[in-house]
Structure 1
């Protein structure tokens, strides 16, 4: 079950009464946000092992989708906008395809190409005035999920316009939490919470 409130994602594992098991919890910062991982297992050794697996999975996904990491596949796509398609991993290709599907369902209200606007909009509290109408118009011109070209045969992604960017701020943490949950379930964790 996934509960979404703004950027809050809570992933619940199968919650069943489990005798002789205890709840173990770890809070840390991942993907630029607070994550709390709780598992119900037999002892602290097992808890540390499976929580570490979940943390490693979330960190792996962050390296894949981060637009801040210059070595990520996402950064490579952004650097080659308007220049050439970039061959990516099946996982990233599938995530982008899924995001484009959500964009279609929402008539563009959800759009991973929003990241093209990052040069004029700052969400760190440093902005003292609104950008000009011309700056906004120019920035918005680079946004549009329809300009993200996927090649399913080559598993490549091409952003049609120079200056276009994609970013996973809206779905990255939820995707990472889902993947960590799946990994915990594969490792016989039958109850817990991943809160991002």
Structure 2
């Protein structure tokens, strides 16, 4: 039976492109904010485009904050992409201080000099992980002006702009990608496949 990925629908996110990529990779996809539907999936994926405070408000309104926290406690597999990765953190200072899901300790801070990190960039693996084999030397697409700052133990991949920027974080079965694998051509698709299958067989 093929793996089913549950895209968490909280009203903000690039669902269509993520769904298309996942289906291209042979995964089944469910898009829902309903816990009963999401519970029938193998991996939860938290997409996101927009502002952190609005995203957390939307998650609270749908009862998804406590749901995702409980799923993480029960060792469920969770992937966050771009804003979805930032939501995994303890808090953000985007516009104002806002608490996050707190699945991976750390805060989301503005990039220096209010700069955006937009475009293609390679990733350096700072911790060995079989999940990241497809990332070696390939460029991935970034588009963000805030970045995760947290304990080194959770940072497994960085990009440079030119200063180091956290690109991949992981705590147990929860992993976050600051870039967009669904917009990163063949390398992005292969990396997403590796991460999902690696989490399933962990």
Shorter-normalised TM-score: what interval?
under 0.3
The structure with more radius of gyration: 1
With the length of structure 2 as denominator, give the TM-score of the two structures. 0.24
For normalisation by structure 1, the TM-score amounts to 0.25
Determine which structure has the larger helix proportion and give its number.
1
